[in-house]
Each structure stands twice: as C-alpha cells, then as structure tokens.
Amino acid sequence: MTREEKKKKIKADITRNAIALFKEKGFDQVTVEEIALRSDIAKGTFFNYFSKKEHVLLHMADSYLPLMGQIFGRHRTGPVRARIECILSDLLDLYLQYADLLRITLVESIRASLAAGDEETNISRLRSAFSAFLEDAQTAGEIRTRANADDCAALLVGLLFQTLILYSSRLDAPEMRRMLVRQLDLAWEGIADATVEKNL
C-alpha cells in the first residue's frame, strides 16, 4: 500500500468511525479523543487529517456525492417540472434519513460556503448538479430561454434550504414535501399575476 493510499484509508476510517459515533451519541457528545481511540490513532493524528472536528462532516458530505449523482440520474423521463419535484423529494428523503446529523452538516456546509473563496463546496456542487440538469431541460425547451440555468439552480437550492430551515425542527415530512411542491410551483409559474404582467 502506497503512502497516498494509506492516508486515504485512514481518513476514511476516521470519517466512518466519527460518523458512527455521531449517529450514536450526537455530534457534541462525541470527543475527538473518542474518535481517535476507535480509529486506533492518537488524538493529535486526528488533526493531521481534519483541521477542525466539524470538517469530518464536510468530508462525509463529499462522500455522498455519488449518491447525489444517482438521484439526479434516476429521473430521466417525463416533463421537467415533475422530474425536479422528484429530485427535490429524494433529496428531502435523504436529509430526513439522518436529520440530526445532516442538520449540523448543513450548517457547516453553509459556513464553509460563506467562507470559501472560489473553491468548490458541497453547496456549490449541489447547485452545479441542478444547473447541469436544467441545461439539458433548457435545450428541450421546457424552460424560459432567457433564464440562466445557474440562476434557476440557485433558486431551487434556495427553496430547498428554506424548507429545511423552516421545518427541520418539527421534521414533519409530509408538510415539508407539501411546502417543497408549493415553492416549486411558485418558482415555476412565477410570483407575478399573469394578467397584470400581460398588461405591462
């Protein structure tokens, strides 16, 4: 095993053990020493792999990337609007599966994005995934041609986040899904009253 491979493996080990502990006891109740112990390393070594305890969460989110790709790939047929609804719904389900953990992960992802320069972040990758999806849809003519796919993507991520922010304390899955659909409807049809719009 080469040096690089070994590092990858240890980082993956730490992440796996840390996440398992977080799921068991909650993020704040797990100490770095505990993670290190279970990963057969010293506490100091942990910080050779992650500069902050929270960064484990970001790395975990990275490892969910393929799953995200899968969600976007899963819905390929039918009208774009319906497919977006399915994608949003699947992302919501994913979130709800480990809401306690992903809640903090979401916060950390936002923090990272707010601090990051031009580097990629979890959130920018989510936007990109939507953007790529929408560009395809745009060539199919189901989306306003004047609209920019990146902007549409940002709008969709924004409404997803608002839904999570508003409801994730209650974790009322059906209500969250309804809100998601209503928000998507709004974003899709527009806020403006069409009759008034036409008169301008």
Q: Which does 155 bind (CB under 5 to 8 A by kind): a copy of itself, DNA, none?
A: a copy of itself
| Site map (CB under 7 A) of DNA, residues 39-78, x = contact | --xxxxx-xxx-xxxx------------------------
124 binds, among a copy of itself, DNA, none (CB under 5 to 8 A by kind): a copy of itself
Q: Is 81 exposed, middle or buried (0-12, 13-18, 19+ CB in 10 A)?
A: middle
Count other C-beta atoms under 10 Å from residue 99's C-beta: 14
Alpha-carbon distance values, 13 to 7, 18, 42, 45 (Å)? 10, 8, 13, 13
Identify residues 128-187 at the interface with a copy of itself (CB under 8 A): 141-145, 147-148, 151-152, 154-155, 157-159, 161-166, 168-170, 179, 182-183, 186-187
Q: Single out the segment in contact with a copy of itself by CB under 8 A; choices: 2-10, 11-19, 51-59, 112-120.
A: 112-120
CA dist 106 and 123 (Å) reads 9
The nearest distance, CB 38 to a copy of itself, in angstroms, is: 27
Are 58 and 125 in contact, with CB atoms under 8 Å apart? no
Nearest to 126 by CA among 79, 78, 82, 161: 161
Among 111, 120, 136, 175, the residue binding a copy of itself under the rule CB under 8 A is 111
Cα three-residue angle 160-183-124, rounded to 5 degrees: 30
Note the residues at the interface with DNA (CB under 7 A): 2-3, 6-7, 10, 30-33, 41-45, 47-49, 51-54
